[in-house]
Amino acid sequence: MPTLIEQARSNKPAAASILPRAIWPLLVGLAIGALMFYVIGPGMGDYPSKIVLIAGINIILAVSLTVVNGFTGQFSMGHAGFMAVGGYVAATITYYGSMKLFGSADPAGGVLSFTGGADKPTALARWGDALFIGSCLMGGVGAAIAGYIVGLPSLRLRGDYLAIVTLGFGEIVRVLLQGTHEQIQPWRVEDALAKPVYELAISLGGPKGFQLLPTYTTLFWVYLFVVVTLIICYRVKNSSTGRAFLSIREDEIAAQAMGVDITKYKVRAFVLAAFFAGVAGGLYAMDIGAINAGDLGFLKSFDIIIMVVLGGMGSISGAALAAIILTILPELLRNPPPVWPVGLVLIALIAGVSSYRKRFRWKPIIVIAIASTLLEVGRQIALSKGINVADFRLILYALLLITMMLVRPQGIFGIHEIWEILPGYARREAARNGARGGSQGGKP
């Protein structure tokens, strides 16, 4: 009889069948990224497309945190810390790397470029975007290493204790980064060239933040990474590693009894989430052209947690949707559009559908009517008094979360994906399993 290892080897799929599976997410990412960059971005105008870009970065952050907080059930409160590590690593490599390679900290265009960059000081500078994207990946690796280092000792802790340790980690990162030396300004390239690399690596601007970074981030790069993050996290969820994560969330003792090395898998979840947070940090830094550790403290971590909780702990699509809503909402609040037309349409829809089904429903109609009226009254008051509603967004967030916890404590989608709660999903899934045949389909 063959040993277990031999059997496992024979189950391994051939390289030829892996390759398309490995490549198509990248192709989809490239396509969606190009679509966003060439069609949707220009179609929306500068300001809205900036919001969409930030929404993309938030999607990466929220979805990656879902791996830890949602799948594995570990409450991490230091996600912004990983973002900061990744952001600073990426910013350092891009900024000082540009100086060393291209002799200037300005964005350089060329091959892989979407930034234009007409005058190229050197032939090397044609690779500016390659440097940028490589540094974002290095930021991810740096954050993943940080995740591993934090993970090993602290993931033996549970619940509240782990939350406190991760909170502490985020603050340590912030304090360390704020304690770095003055940055070497872009007009003093010779100074930067003269200094050894390790000295550059601690000249990150300190409390003033790391500024005047070349702005390479575009909708293309952000949405490429959004697609890749979404697909990787979804695949992980449905892999044996993902099952191990879920089993840890459900019952640690039983997971151990099934042969799951719980510390190992908790660390894996942290490393994976930290990697994507690091990449997001790089995209964020090179979008704004500056990164300041002071902005990436526990408040930022909470923002990400709120997205995950709102979307549903364990739902990738839920976290992504919540990230979009929570990015766009404050912008809408700046100059709130009237919502009562939407309310009217909703009421008409509910009234139509429910009377068609001969089960007329008053309750949702009344709730929507009252809510639309209140919102409109609030909007008129804000307009007449010249109040900026966006200033109150934290209060609104809090109200939103309290309402959410009362009405739907599991988040918008709970632990399910959007398509899993659509009607007919169970039926289609059963048909699919039936077609696969044999052991999956249960006989009644």
Partner 1 sequence: MPMLEVKGLNVHYGAIHALHGIDIAVEQGQIVTLIGCNGAGKSTTLRTISGLIRPSAGQILFEGKPISGMPAHQIVRLGLAQSPEGRGIFANLTVAENLDMGAFARSDKAQIAKDREHALTLFPRVRERLKQNAGTLSGGEQQMLAMARALMARPRLLLLDEPSLGLAPQIVQTIFKIIREINRDGTTILLVEQNAHMALEVAHHAYVLEVGRIVMADDAKKLAASDEVRKAYLGIG
Applying CB under 8 A, does 253 fall inside the site for partner 1?
yes
Task: Tell me whether residue 11 or residue 384 sits nearer to partner 1 (CB atom).
Answer: 11
Task: Give 291's strand partners.
Answer: 210
Give the nearest distance from C-beta 438 to partner 1 in angstroms. Answer: 7
Sole binder of partner 1 in the list 178, 211, 215, 256 (CB under 8 A): 256
Task: Tell me whether residue 79 or residue 237 sits nearer to partner 1 (CB atom).
Answer: 237
> Running DSSP on this structure, what letter comes out for residue 291?
B
Applying CB under 8 A, does 424 fall inside the site for partner 1?
no
Applying CB under 8 A, does 239 fall inside the site for partner 1?
no
Task: Tell me whether residue 384 or residue 439 sits nearer to partner 1 (CB atom).
Answer: 439
Task: Give 210's strand partners.
Answer: 291
Q: Which amino acid is at 256?
A: Q
CA 224 from chain center: how many Å? 13
Applying CB under 8 A, does 219 fall inside the site for partner 1?
no
Record the tokens describing residue 415, joined without a space: 């632990």
Task: Tell me whether residue 23 or residue 430 sits nearer to partner 1 (CB atom).
Answer: 430
- The DSSP annotation for 217-243 comes to --HHHHHHHHHHHHHHHHHHHTSHHHH
- Number of neighbours of residue 96 by Cβ within 10 angstroms: 22
Distance CA 24, CA 39 (A): 22
Give the nearest distance from C-beta 390 to partner 1 in angstroms. Answer: 37
Applying CB under 8 A, does 395 fall inside the site for partner 1?
no
Give the nearest distance from C-beta 255 to partner 1 in angstroms. Answer: 8
In which region does residue 103 sit, left (phi positive, over 0), alpha (psi from -120 to 50) or beta (all else)? left
> Do 322 and 307 meet the contact criterion of CB atoms below 8 Å apart?
yes
Sole binder of partner 1 in the list 26, 194, 257, 402 (CB under 8 A): 257
Applying CB under 8 A, does 440 fall inside the site for partner 1?
yes
Give the nearest distance from C-beta 251 to partner 1 in angstroms. Answer: 5
- Number of neighbours of residue 336 by Cβ within 10 angstroms: 16
Record the tokens describing residue 78, joined without a space: 């230091």
Instruction: Using only the alpha carbons of the chain, give its radius of gyration.
Output: 24
Phi then psi dihedrals of residue 437, to 5 deg: 80, 170
Applying CB under 8 A, does 444 fall inside the site for partner 1?
yes
Give the nearest distance from C-beta 74 to partner 1 in angstroms. Answer: 16
Sole binder of partner 1 in the list 172, 254, 374, 402 (CB under 8 A): 254
Chain positions contacting partner 1, by CB under 8 A: 4, 7-8, 11, 240, 243-244, 246-247, 249-251, 253-262, 415, 426, 430, 438-440, 442-444
